[in-house]
């Protein structure tokens, strides 16, 4: 029996969401469109199997095939990123970061991460997150121009002597200098955790420097620029030890420490359907055309940035080197919340976001965050980015004119109709 037959209410909502995705411009930088092959694996019978443990070392029988699936995902991740060890079981990005904390630190240890309001993530030390309550959190910021302040980071690290420094961002439009960041960590005697969740696809596509060889541990989600299902991976170098051997917190032992943190430390059975879909996405990311895709993401972001600058928008750092833009709307006379709602009414999905040293509150900030991964997955290029920049200007200038927004929405649909999405998929 079909979903529509069993549960027409959920089927109708999924159909509405599919229509929204098809007819709108998805511009949240952390969102993307997975391939039909990834969707097929994600919806597979892998979800039926319990497989606590790791390939060849399970607590359940009947795991011979999910062992092969997980080992394939592990091998592909190791090859793609050039690391010794990969754990593909984290349920998502936040649990992956939690596992690293659990593996390498004791409660109360000092952790240094980028402040959420300056582009970081909740798990990098936000006071109301586990990372800011179970651990002593000190936070670094950007300069007023939006660029990471390496000198201030070094001073903070020397003063606070953190056990671990977390580098990564959700709203930082420039590249990371991993060598300089490694030097800061080494001078402070700290482990360096690189959270590349946003830029993993750009790294494997050759569009962003890799932290491999600099960071002690790397975490990443699989569902942003990597264009896979919702999930995560933890990558590191070193050699796993025997399962029952006690190990010290040394870099050579990181693989064992990470694996033990995931299970039995924090998680139970892995999601085998998710692992299968991750394996498919990793295979896709190893194809030559993925490099072309990653390059186009950056070209599109730069083209959009140029258009918005032409229209008098202020961009944090003045532009972008990656997949996202952070727009300061103060000179346009609208707030991030007002712009987000007006853009959504026009068929353009983005999110409100704080800007560095934002004078407004986080739930009603001064900026919006825009990204190009999902647009690029649909096949859009620089010319479309210019037109989208025009749409954004018109929406911001007429954000209170409901009729104008409806008209813009119809023009957005004309554009998206030229880039069909998930043809053949339907729920009702």
Q: What is the pLDDT of residues 90-137, one digit of tens each?
A: 999 999 999 999 999 999 999 999 999 999 999 999 999 999 999 999
First-to-last C-alpha distance (Å) of the chain: 13
As a residue count, the chain comes to 428
Backbone angles phi, psi at 87, to 5 degrees: -110, 120
Which numeric CATH code is attached to 39-285? 3.40.640.10
Q: Mean pLDDT throughout 303-325?
A: 98
Residue-wise pLDDT tens digits, 367-383: 999 999 999 999 999 99
- Indicate if the pLDDT at residue 244 is higher than 70: no
pLDDT for the residue 241: 63
Q: Which CATH class is domain 3-30+288-417?
A: alpha beta
The helix/strand/coil state of 380 is: coil
Closest of 115, 141, 146 to residue 128, by C-alpha: 115
- In the chain, where does the domain assigned CATH 3.90.1150.10 lie? 3-30+288-417
Mean pLDDT across the chain: 97
Tokens 């704080």 sit on residue: 354
The proportion of the chain whose per-residue pLDDT surpasses 70, expressed as a percent, equals: 99
Classify burial at 127, counting beta carbons within 10 Å of its beta carbon; exposed 0-12, middle 13-18, buried 19 or more.
exposed
312 to 152, 304, 318, 389: CA distances (angstroms): 31, 13, 12, 11
Residue-wise pLDDT tens digits, 197-229: 999 999 999 999 999 999 999 999 999 999 999
Helix (H) or strand (E) holding 281: helix 272-285
Annotated binding site for (6S)-5,6,7,8-tetrahydrofolate: 116
Residues annotated as catalytic are 50, 52, 195, 221, 224, 230
Q: Which residues contact residue 56 at a Cβ distance below 8 angstroms, ignoring those fewer than 6 apart?
A: 67
Report the predicted TM-score, pTM, of the whole model to 2 decimal places. Answer: 0.96
Closest of 17, 19, 12, 13 to residue 416, by C-alpha: 19
Backbone angles phi, psi at 396, to 5 degrees: -65, -35
- In the chain, where does the domain assigned CATH 3.40.640.10 lie? 39-285
- Indicate if the pLDDT at residue 242 is higher than 60: no
What CA–CA distance (Å, rounded) separates 216 from 239? Answer: 13
Classify burial at 418, counting beta carbons within 10 Å of its beta carbon; exposed 0-12, middle 13-18, buried 19 or more.
exposed
pLDDT for the residue 246: 79
- Indicate if the pLDDT at residue 173 is higher than 80: yes
């Amino acid at each position: 029996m079909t979903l529509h037959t069993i549960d027409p209410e959920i089927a109708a909502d999924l159909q509405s969401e599919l229509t929204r995705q098809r007819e709108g411009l998805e511009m949240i930088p952390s969102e993307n469109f997975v391939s039909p092959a990834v969707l097929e694996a994600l919806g597979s019978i892998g979800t039926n199997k319990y497989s606590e443990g790791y390939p060849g070392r399970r607590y359940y029988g009947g795991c011979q095939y999910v062992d092969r699936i997980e080992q394939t995902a592990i091998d592909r991740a190791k090859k793609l990123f050039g690391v010794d060890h990969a754990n593909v079981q984290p349920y998502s990005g936040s649990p992956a970061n939690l596992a690293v904390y659990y593996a390498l630190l004791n409660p109360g240890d000092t952790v240094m991460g980028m402040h959420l309001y300056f582009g970081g993530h909740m798990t990098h030390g936000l006071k109301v997150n586990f990372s800011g309550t179970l651990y002593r959190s000190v936070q670094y910021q950007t300069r007023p121009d939006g660029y990471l302040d390496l000198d201030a980071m070094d001073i903070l690290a020397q003063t606070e002597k953190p056990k671990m420094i977390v580098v990564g961002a959700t709203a930082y439009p420039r590249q990371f200098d991993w060598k300089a960041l490694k030097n800061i960590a080494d001078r402070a005697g700290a482990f360096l955790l690189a959270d590349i969740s946003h830029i993993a696809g750009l790294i494997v596509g050759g569009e962003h420097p890799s932290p491999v060889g600099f960071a002690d541990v790397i975490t990443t989600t699989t569902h942003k620029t990597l264009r896979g299902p919702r999930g995560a991976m933890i990558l590191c170098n070193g050699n796993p030890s025997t399962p029952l051997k006690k190990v010290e917190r040394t870099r050579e032992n990181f693989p064992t420490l990470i694996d033990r943190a995931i299970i039995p430390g924090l998680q139970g059975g892995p999601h085998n359907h998710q692992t299968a879909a991750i394996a498919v996405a990793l295979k896709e990311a190893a194809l030559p055309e993925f490099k072309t895709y990653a390059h186009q993401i950056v070209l599109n972001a730069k083209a959009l940035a140029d258009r918005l600058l032409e229209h008098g928008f202020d961009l944090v750092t003045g532009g972008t080197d990656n997949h996202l833009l952070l727009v300061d709307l103060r000179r346009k006379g609208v707030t991030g919340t007002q712009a987000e709602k007006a853009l959504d009414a026009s068929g353009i999905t983005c999110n409100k976001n704080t800007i560095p040293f934002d004078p407004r509150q986080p739930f009603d900030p001064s900026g919006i965050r825009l990204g190009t991964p999902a647009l690029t997955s649909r096949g859009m290029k620089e010319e479309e980015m210019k037109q989208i920049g025009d749409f954004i200007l018109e929406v911001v200038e007429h954000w209170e004119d409901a009729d104008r927004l409806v008209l813009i929405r119809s023009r957005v649909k004309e554009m998206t109709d030229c880039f069909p999405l998930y043809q053949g998929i339907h729920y009702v």
